[in-house]
Amino acid sequence: MNDEHGFITRTIHEGEAGNSSATPIYQSTTVDGAYLRGSNPTFTAFEEKMCALEGGGRSIATACGMASVTQAVMTLIRAGSRIVCHQTGYVWTRHFMSEELPRLGFDTELIDMRDPKQLDAALEKPTDVVYFEPLSNPTLDIIDAPGVIQKAHQAGAKVVIDNTFLSPYLFRPMDHGADVVLHSATKYLCGHGDALAGIITTRDPDLGEQVLRSRNTYGGILSPMNAFLLLRGIKTLSIRMDRHNLNARAVADFLESHPRVKRTYYPGLPSTPGHEIARSQWNGYGGMVSFEIAEETVVGFLDRVRLCKPWVSLGDVGSLVTGDPEGQRVRMSVGLEDTDDIIKDLEQALG
């Protein structure tokens, strides 16, 4: 890592081949006799860039975000392990925690980590891994990451953080002592909705080496084409995140004053629980907004949006909305379009 350069300079230059404007795609199963399940020059470049951005010891790229979630946790646990996890999080992570791991005999407990009493009580039992998303999917719960890390370490647990919703531009958990940081790189890191990818970064390079062995064993490697798209996407991470921040703020203000919206959740709004944590710890509030529609279910709203697409991903250049069709809460990934165009679409869809 080049310590002289700032974060944005690193997004552009770190990891890249020094003699070309873009790192080439090594579309090959071997290079110089080495088999490319273990490493590939294109995804190694992506790993080196991410390691420099996270301030970590080692980064390991995976086929998608879920491959990062499962490989990171599986590397840290052994027979009899106990895992404490925040109660809301990406649906398939919750499935892994509440069904897959217990099926294999692991003790997992899902708690509300925003409540220090619940965390203290959970950590009374010997715990190996504490796992959470600092801004959680889909409910936008805001967690005091430094506080949780400190307590987890006192209890002898390793901390794994899924930082997908914030990106290292807005928050760097390694600076606060996290042991492992991972992302669904499919989202803000890629930014363009054209590649699935995951990335795990460990503070300890030896732990990174173990994760690498897990990747070799489970086989969930990243394709060189997707690594290329990630390298390309990350170069504009900072300007994209700045604009996501700007547009999401405007959308949140609009929604908060709209009569057909019961409640708006955005880390930048003082009315959102945890706002003070976000304000004091992050470098911006991000592009994710959530809101409850009054008097009808989400299905009608999803039917009426035109510019904003009713698709499940997030972190793309375009605005995306999703939610349980029978529920009233919408999750919105605010895109990079003209602010007025996004707001006009929401206005006509809210009716």
| Contact positions vs ligand PLP (CB under 6 A) | 64-66, 69, 90, 93, 133, 137, 162, 164, 184, 186, 196, 198
CA distances in angstroms from 199 to 55, 58, 109, 192, 330, listed in the order given? 14, 10, 25, 17, 28
User: In terms of CB distance, is 123 or 222 closer to ligand PLP?
Assistant: 222
Residue 144 known to be catalytic: no
Q: Do residues 322 and 291 touch, judged by C-beta distance below 8 A?
A: no
Closest CA to 144 of 123, 179, 167, 152: 152
Task: From the candidates 187, 203, 240, 309, give the one annotated as an active-site residue.
Answer: 187
- Phi, psi angle pair for 229, to nearest 5°: -65, -35
How many other CB atoms are there within 10 angstroms of residue 33's CB atom? 5
Nearer to ligand PLP, 65 or 233 (CB): 65
Q: Which of 90, 131, 265, 285 is catalytic?
A: 90
> Is 242 an active-site residue?
no
65 or 173: whose CB is closer to ligand PLP? 65
Cβ of residue 92: shortest distance to ligand PLP, in angstroms?
A: 6
Ramachandran category for residue 229: left, alpha or beta (phi over 0 → left; psi -120 to 50 → alpha): alpha
Active-site residue among 162, 179, 316, 345?
A: 162
Query: For residues 184 and 319, which CB has a smaller minimum distance to ligand PLP in the complex?
Result: 184
Structure tokens at 112: 């509300």
Shortest spacing between CB 84 and ligand PLP, in angstroms: 18
Q: What angle do CA 139, 158, 116 make, to 5 degrees?
A: 50
Is residue 213 part of the annotated active site? The answer reads no
Tally of CB atoms within 10 A around 35: 11
| Minimum CB distance to ligand PLP, residue 220 (Å) | 10
Catalytic residue list contains 90? yes
- Which residue of the set 35, 37, 262, 306 is catalytic? 37
- The residues annotated with a catalytic role in the active site are 37, 90, 162, 187
